[in-house]
Structures are given as structure tokens and as C-alpha cells.
Amino acid sequence: MNRPETRRRTVLALGALPLVSLSPGVLAQGAPPQAGEDYQVLQVRIPVEPEDKIVVLDFFRYGCPHCHSFLPSLQAWEKRIATDVSLQHVPCAFSPEQEPLSRVYFSLLALGRLGDMHAKVFDAVIVRRQRFEDPEEIATFMAANGIAHDKWMSVYNSFSMGPSLRRARDQIVAYRIDGTPTLACDGRYLTAPSMMQTAQNLAEAHERSLAVLDFLIAQVRAERRQKHK
């Protein structure tokens, strides 16, 4: 993966460009995605669960404005994925100060409220600039969205939070994630909007990265079919 400073410059440059709408299949008429440019191949495959699915990992951070702008495209992509694909989110904490936001994700997941609250948390942190560092501030926000204070605090501070946070940290290290958003496919490939260096704007970078992801999924699917013949 590109060095953090290189990826950061690329993303900031894309963020300064205007948004435009693009037609589906943005890569269809061009050259197929290239390893080392549009995606990276990991030297060693990382085990994924469930093994019978093509697992896509979305490495994100609630405090990342690039993840926030990518979210609508990712959610639209998720609505059309096949049943053999499993999208899983991995909250990234690159410092102890960022850990509360990872706890927020796992708490919402445990409470079954990720579906309606995922985008709301992004908006609160990125648009309204709520820091979400103080547990009481977070609990107040959740109470305003229908999650009782005591219920939230019980889950947020639960013993089970430890293993969830450790697993996320282990995945970040295993995949060598140095920036978000980043997408992993089948424990073997990485792609990201920041890798789409020929994109003319942010919308194109988003769509191209998802087109690359579709390409990788199709490749994995074809390999599995060939193996089971």
C-alpha cells in the first residue's frame, strides 16, 4: 500500500475536485484493473470468516472525512452485492484517542442499531463536529436516538468489548492498513479510492475503487468455481 503521506496527498487532491455523476461500469470500456496500481496483492492470504463467502472488509474511521464522503457510494454498492459476498466493517483506531469511536461501532453492532445509526454517527462527528471522546456525551447522543442511557453504557463498557477491539487491531496490523477508507477482498487484495490516481474527481475515485472491487470479487468467484469442477 502507498506510504501514508502519499495516500494522504492523493486523497486531499481528489477531495478538492468537483463531484460528478458517473455511469455504472466505469472500468468496462478501459483496461482491466492492474495489480500494483488499482489494487495490491497481499503476499500471504489472511484467513476470513465465513470461509464460504467472499469477504469484503471495509476499514473505516468515524472521524475520517474521506470515509464519510465514501459512505453513500459504499452503501449503494452494498445493496446490489450477490448473496455469496459478505461486507464487514472494521473500525480503525490508529491511536488510543480514537478508540472510543471504535467502541461506538461495536456497541451499535451488538445492539442491532448499526443499520440506522452508522450514517448518523458519521454525520455527528464529521458534520456537527461532535468529538465523541466522553462516554457521557456519546450516551446522551444515543439516548436522543432511542437507545436508553443505561443500556448503552452497559454495552459500551462490557467485557466483550475487549476482544472486539483486539480483533480490529489485529486486522489493521495483518492487512497493514495505513489509511482509510480501504477495502480488502478475500484476505488477498486491497484497494481504495486513494489508489485511483488517474481519477479526475472524488466521485470517480469512489466509483472506480468499487469497480475494482467488483473485478476482484468476480476473479475470486471464478477461481472458486474452477477449483470445485
Pairwise CA distance, residues 42 & 44, whole Å = 5
DSSP letter at 35 equals: B
Domain extents in the chain: 35-227
User: For position 169, what pLDDT does the model report?
Assistant: 97
Walk along the chain (229 residues) in steps of 10 and give the mean pLDDT of each run: 39 34 43 94 96 97 98 97 98 96 98 98 97 95 98 97 97 97 98 95 96 98 89
Q: Which three cell numbers stand for residue 98?
A: 480514537
Q: What is the reported pLDDT for 30?
A: 66
The highest-level CATH class for domain 35-227 is: alpha beta
pTM of the model: 0.86
- Cβ–Cβ < 8 Å for 47, 178: no
**How high is the pLDDT of residue 5?**
39
Report how far residue 13's alpha carbon sits from residue 201's, in angstroms, rounded to the nearest whole number: 9
